[in-house]
């Protein structure tokens, strides 16, 4: 099951979706950039983040990464099993301007022209 939150989602529905996501009744929460722009919801229980394109506003990238739970901060505690967090950003050559805003012009050009399709940076 998954939940969605966009800028048009009614407040009670947002609250319900956030609750179901936090309690793991919903495994996936689709959260739009426009919803974040207008409301900046605080999502709890985030383990993985998937961007299907670089965010138009570069400040949203660290905003959403800051939602990731620390390994020991989940409600089950650190003994609940292997904790991990992952962030995946999908991009193509048409995302060059948004990608430049995140990683800089040099790195964006290198990423777009590289033979590999996986990049890791900290």
Highest mean pLDDT among 51-55, 79-83, 84-88: 51-55
Residue 6: phi and psi, rounded to 5, are -130, 180
* Domain map (residue ranges) of the chain: 1-44, 46-122
The average pLDDT across 102-119 equals: 92
Confidence check: pLDDT of 18 > 70: yes
- The predicted pLDDT at position 78 comes to 47
Instruction: Report the alpha-carbon distance of residue 109 to residue 107 in Å, rounded.
Output: 5
The DSSP result for 8-23, as a single string, is TS-HHHHHHHHHHHHT
Confidence of residue 69 (pLDDT cuts 50, 70, 90): confident
- Whether residue 73 is predicted with pLDDT greater than 70 in this model: the reply is no
Asked if pLDDT for residue 71 goes beyond 60, the answer is: no
Residue 41's nearest CA partner among 66, 23, 58 is 66
- Give the dihedral sign, CA 90/96/102/103: positive
For residue 62, the model assigns a pLDDT of 93
Indicate the pTM of the whole model.
0.80
Provide, rounded to the nearest whole percent, the portion of the chain with pLDDT above 90: 78
């Amino acid at each position: 099951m998954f939940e969605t939150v966009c800028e048009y989602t009614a407040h009670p529905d947002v609250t319900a979706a956030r609750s179901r996501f936090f309690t793991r009744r919903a495994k996936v929460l689709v959260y739009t950039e426009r919803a974040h722009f207008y409301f900046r919801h605080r999502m709890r229980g985030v383990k993985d983040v998937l961007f299907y394109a670089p965010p138009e506003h570069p400040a949203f990238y660290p905003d959403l990464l800051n939602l990731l739970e620390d390994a020991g901060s989940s409600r089950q505690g650190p003994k609940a099993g292997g904790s991990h967090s992952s962030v995946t950003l999908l991009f193509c050559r048409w995302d060059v301007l948004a990608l430049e805003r995140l990683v800089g012009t040099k790195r964006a050009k290198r990423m777009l022209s590289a033979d590999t399709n996986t990049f890791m940076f900290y």
